Structure formats: structure tokens, C-alpha cells
Amino acid sequence: MDSKTAALPSEEGAAANDPAAPSARGRATSAGPFPVRPPARGEPLTEVAKTEPAAVAELVARARAAQVAWADTPLQDRAERIAKVKQRLLARAEEIATLLHRECGKPIEEAALAEVLPNADLIDYWTASIEELLDASPVDLDPLAYPGKVGRIQRDPRGVVALITPWNYPVAIPLRTIVPALLAGNAVVFKPSEITPRSGALVVSLFDGLLPDGVLSIAQGGSDVGAALVEADVDLVVFTGSVATGREIAVACAARLIPTSLELGGKDSAIVLGDCDLERAARGVVWGAFTNAGQNCASIERVYVERAIADRFIERVVALTGQLRPGVDVGVMTTARQAEIVRRHLEAAVAGGAEILAGGAPSEGSLAFPPTVLRVEREDTPLLQEETFGPILPVLVVNDAEEAVARTNASRFALTTSLWTRGYERAHALARRLRSGVVTINNHGFTGALPAAPWTGAGDSGFGVTSSPHALAELTRPRFLLEDRSRARSELWWYPYTPALRTIAFAMARARGGAGLLGRIGALVELVAALSKRLLGR
């Protein structure tokens, strides 16, 4: 979704004087293009300073210098330091929620529930489990074929991680990478969205005094700063944002053989089956569509409901949507650019025959986009093909679950899908046929807050993984370490290559299954004779 990228064209801003500004390890150097008008109105936002693109390489160089010593710091020490962030986060809960309300326009309750409390669980999970998750694992080696040899796999840090995140969850999303990346021994250079630079600075400030200088730094700015970070001497790029920008990052990193972790949005569907708990399904779908004003990669942007209950379900969804209070239950949209995209999608759908059942477009220029429900017949419209990222809920009637699964899988996005049914066995069977990286039954979207559950997708949703031990596959790299305790003068397969060695090789092939029973017995006899010759150096 273009609006989700952290590399948007810059908006008007002013000079730096932000109480949430980072410490000297990542301080910006000049006035930059950051918004000062809060989307929910009120007092102007504090000014923020921009990091010059030319200064990004220096931040990365300092991170690289600091990372070596940080990785050598005992893991328990790293965990104890980062565990202290939990108390700081919770102690500043109201400050964080208020800033998110002012900078993003989301309700304060929603900010606290989505971006403060789950991150306390995140810190608990990673600091409690990281030692076990990074523990070296032994590799079984055949003692006859490889005598005296012991092998193990350890997980080493990537090095310097470049983290670029969007504005829709500007505290929660970066912490999902920063916490495990630091615990794994990486240094992180973090570029928040220029739409929410103050939230990004606050995230970094939670670690003040806990980390060596340079281990965590912030680069404030727009697409030019993001590009400079991707092009710098980093070892991994973690990006959440638009498909277009994600592709550009993937190409740039591929040219330098640098791994990437990309989460690029969704067009999530809810499949509502005839045997569902209709009241729960309607309430869950309404929340899943309109939380954070629909500015969520896991927002429900398509509902496929079985014909048998379609009229009753739609009626209830419309009634519940009408009960949502503007500015209380549903906040304003964060940017005018995004509101305009949502407006265009809505207008195109209506022009194509969609019927508005609740809500509708606000007055021109307003960010207070009301929750809107439509009944849609055709899918050849941007509202059903592209990520809308706004408070629009299209409902389509299908004949059965088979049709709903087929339509869900036809999308180029495959992030999350929810199934609403009382038939759990059937739901599990349907889930196995969905392309989505996350499937929920009788709930939607909240699993991004579960630190032990992987958050990932396929197709244009990207292939990155955050949360769960699976995230460490990206934040670390496996290193195999072999110890050879053999006292033999030479290995069997070392020089010189001789007729006896050739006999051994082919006799081993027959003995290990390349011949029948009698052939294997004969091969063992050959092996004994040839090994004796080999031991004598022949």
C-alpha cells in the first residue's frame, strides 16, 4: 500500500525541538519535511529535525563498530538490559497513547490496546526465551564415517540491521524487530516514517542508557534517507510498506546479495459461513474492518458471505457500523493522501454498481472518513483488487465456501484470512487450502500482537516474518562449527587417491544399499580388505 511505505514524498515540517528526540547517537542534523498539523486537529505537533542522507553512512559505520562488542556481551546481560524497556513502556503508556492519537489520529484507547500493552508481552517473550532460542544445536555425525568429529549449529547475528517502518502502527511495528534483533546481537539503524517521526523517536528513547553508543540509532527523513539506508553498508533490510517500494528494495539488495525481510500489505478477506455465530461474526468483521480507521495491513477489505445468511448478516453489520462513534470508536485517517485513495476506490466501486449501505465519502479534504459498508457484485474494481487501507467494507454474496476460498486465493495479496463458522474441523480443512500466511477462525487480525506467533504472508504481501522463533531465521544466520578430535594421521578421503580408495568408495555404495543382500555381504568383505590396504598407505 503506497500510503504505508516509510519512503513517501516528504510533507511540510519545521525545525527540531522535540521532547521525544533521540539521544546524540542518532540525532538529526537539519530541519526537514515533517508534518506539524495533527490529523485530529488540536495544537501543532513539535518540530523534528531531519537526518541528512549523507550522514546515514556514518550512522551505519558507528553501528558496525558498536555491534561487535554488543554481540560479545553475554546474552543474559543483553536480555537484562532490554527487559527494562518493559517498565519504561508501561510507565509512559499515557504519553505514548496521547502521542499516537495526536500524530496518527487513532483513538487513545486503541493506541494503548494495540501499541502499548502487546509490546510489554513482546519484551517478556523475547527476553525470557532468547537464550533457549539461540542455544547451539548438535548435528548427528556417523561415528564410523566421521570418527572423532563433533558438530553443532549456532545462530550468529546478521550484523547491522536496517529497519524501515510505516506510520500506521509506529510503535508496535518497529519494536517487533528492534527487540529480537538487539537480543540476537545485532545493531539496528531505524528509519521511521516521516509521517510519524515523533513516535519513532519515542521508541528509540525507551532504550536510552541501556545500550552502548551506536547499537540503536535513528535516521529521520523521507525517501531520500530511506534510500541512503538501503544503499549503506548494512547486512539485512527489514521493510514494511508498499509493494512498489518493497520491490525496489528487493532489487537493490539482491544486486548486493543482502537479505531482505518484506511485509507489503494485504487485501484480507473474511469468509462467513452459514453455520457461524452470526452476532459474533458481524461484530468481529466490523472491528476487523474499521479498527485504526482501516489503516491496517490486516484490515478486512473483503467479506464473502454465504447466500443462506447474507441478508441477515449484512443487516447486522450495517446496524453495528451505524453505532460507531466518530472520533471515539473510529479515529480520523492519518494522511490526506491516503484519504484520497480511499475516496477514489469508493467512487470507482459505486460507478461500477456497488451499493452504499452505511457511511459514504466525507466532504472534500476531510480526514474524518466514516466507516462505510457496501454491497458489491463485481470484483473488477480497485476496491477489490488493490489495498484500500481505509474504513471501507465491501460485502460480496457467494454460493458456498468453495467459491469464497477460490475468490480469496485469486488475490495477489495473501496476508491473513478469517473463517467464521461453528464447524472447526471444516474450518481447518479450508484453512489448509488458503494461501494466506495467517488464518484465524472466529476472530481476525489481532495475532500480530502475539509475540510467539509468526506474522507473514505470500505473494504481494511479501515474505518477511516478524514474531515467533521463525523471525530469527532472518535476524540471524546459521553457523556450523565442527570440532575434529580424531588423532588419525590422515582422513580416509585425503590424498593420495589410490586403487584401494576407489574400491572402498564403490564397495561402500553397494554396502549401503546399492546391491542386494549377497552383494552387500560381498561389499563388506571388499571393504575390510581395501581398508587394510588404505591404512598401510596404499
Q: 303-337: per-residue pLDDT in tens?
A: 999 999 999 999 999 999 999 999 999 999 999 99
pLDDT band at 33 (very low <50, low <70, confident <90, very high): confident
Mean pLDDT value of segment 119-135:
98
Degrees (nearest 5) of the Cα angle 373, 379, 383?
50
Q: Domains of the chain (ranges plus CATH)? A: 2-264+469-478 (3.40.605.10), 268-452 (3.40.309.10), 490-535 (no CATH)
State whether residue 208 is helix, strand or coil: coil
Q: Is 277 a residue whose pLDDT tops 60?
A: yes
pLDDT band at 399 (very low <50, low <70, confident <90, very high): very high
Phi-psi region of 483 (alpha: psi -120 to 50; beta: other; left: phi over 0): beta
**Rounded Cα–Cα distance for residues 431 and 290 (Å):** 24
Place of cell 502499548: 116
Degrees (nearest 5) of the Cα angle 380, 3, 368?
90
For the chain, helix (H) and strand (E) counts, in that order, are 18, 19
**Rounded Cα–Cα distance for residues 268 and 341 (Å):** 18
Q: Quick one: pLDDT at residue 474?
A: 95
Helix (H) or strand (E) holding 479: strand 476-484
Q: Quick one: pLDDT at residue 40?
A: 85
Degrees (nearest 5) of the Cα angle 235, 449, 238?
15
Is 253 considered catalytic here? no
Q: Is 26 a residue whose pLDDT tops 50?
A: no
pLDDT band at 150 (very low <50, low <70, confident <90, very high): very high
Options 115, 263, 301, 387, the catalytic residue: 263
Q: List the beta strands (DSSP E) in 169-313.
A: 187-191, 216-218, 236-240, 260-263, 268-272, 300-306
Is 276 considered catalytic here? no
pLDDT band at 32 (very low <50, low <70, confident <90, very high): low
What pTM does this model have?
A: 0.92
Options 104, 253, 276, 297, the catalytic residue: 297
Q: Quick one: pLDDT at residue 23?
A: 35
Nearest to 185 by CA among 63, 68, 81: 68
Q: Quick one: pLDDT at residue 47?
A: 93
Strand 416-420 relative to strand 300-306, pairing? unpaired
pLDDT digits (tens, 9 = 90+) for 190-237: 999 999 999 999 999 999 999 999 999 999 999 999 999 999 999 999
pLDDT band at 12 (very low <50, low <70, confident <90, very high): very low
Q: Quick one: pLDDT at residue 537?
A: 75
Helix (H) or strand (E) holding 527: helix 517-535
